[in-house]
Structures are given as structure tokens and as C-alpha cells.
Amino acid sequence: MPDAPGLELIRGEIEQDHPGAVLDTSFDRDQPSLVVDPAQVLAVLAWLRDAPGQRYRFLSSLHVADYLPAQPRFGVHYELLNRDRVERIRVKAMLEDAPPAGGGVGGTTPEDALATAGGGGSPAATGPAGQGLPEIDSCVSLFPTAEFQEREAYDFFGIVFRGHPDLTRILMPEDYVGWPQRRDFPVGGEPVTFTYNERQYG
């Protein structure tokens, strides 16, 4: 993995080709991370994949974190691997929470997103997708392994990946309402009554 000075050198080289693309760097627990402008995330990923001396050509993981109540709320994390050097680098794009456009729990429902996109198909593929949902460009064209991972991120967090070939739910039912891994999604179930305590001390 790049060390902290090496990470700053990578940032400087990216900035030469894509000014303003890297907003920050972090090196925590030996994990190098580039925090990038979401509008330029594809340019940064392509540079890390193709630049001589980098060649992070395998996307081992794409996942989302919800940092509520912090803003920007969502972090889209890309874990890149150079298999020849056995080196990893993380790219993180932070997204603001979009205002809800529908009545679904935890934000816009899949039906609202599809209707906004013009009805039918996937929200990313058929029009101006996912009003009320955070959006970022899909990286499937750069890393085909992202196809199912982006679908999972959409399914659980309601992140719309523009340009994805088939942005539909992958684990939850198609008619499921809401985004169940968001931190404000209500936890279901019945309240537990601790009758032992009531009998002994009530």
C-alpha cells in the first residue's frame, strides 16, 4: 500500500491531470484513502487504473456508508487493488442527502424513482433519475465487477448510479419500500417486555 508521503504524491499527480478532483487524503490504520469530488470520481478511478506506475486494475469492493447526522451524509467507497504489487488504495466520494421526493420510509421509494425517470426500466437508465435520491456516475464501464455491487448499494441505501445498465433491486423484493441500511430507517419488531423484572422488582 502507498505510505502517507506516497499517497500525497499520487494526489499531486492526479491534480496535474484533473485539477480539483482530490479534495483530501487520509492515512488511517495503514489504509490510504483519497477523498474525491463526486463529479470527477470516474476520472480519478480511470487514472488509478491506467496510469503507469499505478495500475489499480481490480475493483475488489464498492460499498456505501451512512454517516448520519454528519453532512455530507453518504460515502461511496471504492476499494482498488493492484494484484501485481498486492497493494490497495481506497477512493471515497461523499454525497449530500437529497430531499425526499416521495412518501417512502427513508426517502424516495423505488416506484417514485422509476416514475421520475419516465416509468419502467431502471432509474439510472431511462431518464433524469431518482429525484430525491443522491446520485453518482456508475463505474461499470471501468470495472465490470461494479455491476452487482452498485445494485446492492442502490437496494440498501438508495444511491442512484447514473448510467448503470440495470439499476434494480438485487436482494430486496422489487416492491419493497425504503432503503433498509440507512441509519434513519426504522427498526421493526415488537417491544420486548421483561416480565422477570416486573415480577421481582415491580
* Residue that is written with C-alpha cell 448510479 in the block: 161
Q: For residue 186, what pLDDT is reported?
A: 85
Distance CA 80, CA 140 (A): 14
What's residue 198's pLDDT?
Answer: 55
Quote the pLDDT of residue 147: 97
Q: Which of 114, 116, 72, 75 is nearest to 97 (CA)?
A: 72
> How many CB atoms are closer than 10 A to CB 154?
26
Check: CB of residue 140 under 8 Å from CB of residue 150: yes
| CA R_g for the chain | 20
The grid coordinates of residue 53 equal 506506475
Q: Which of 116, 143, 130 is nearest to 45 (CA)?
A: 143
Residue 19 has which C-alpha cell?
A: 485539477
Domains of the chain: 4-95 (3.30.460.80)
pLDDT in tens, the chain (202 residues): 678 888 899 999 999 999 999 999 998 777 899 999 999 999 999 999 999 999 999 999 999 999 999 999 999 999 999 999 889 999 999 999 976 655 444 455 555 544 433 333 444 333 334 448 999 999 999 999 999 999 999 999 999 999 999 999 999 998 888 999 999 988 776 565 656 555 555 5
Beta bridge partners of 71: none
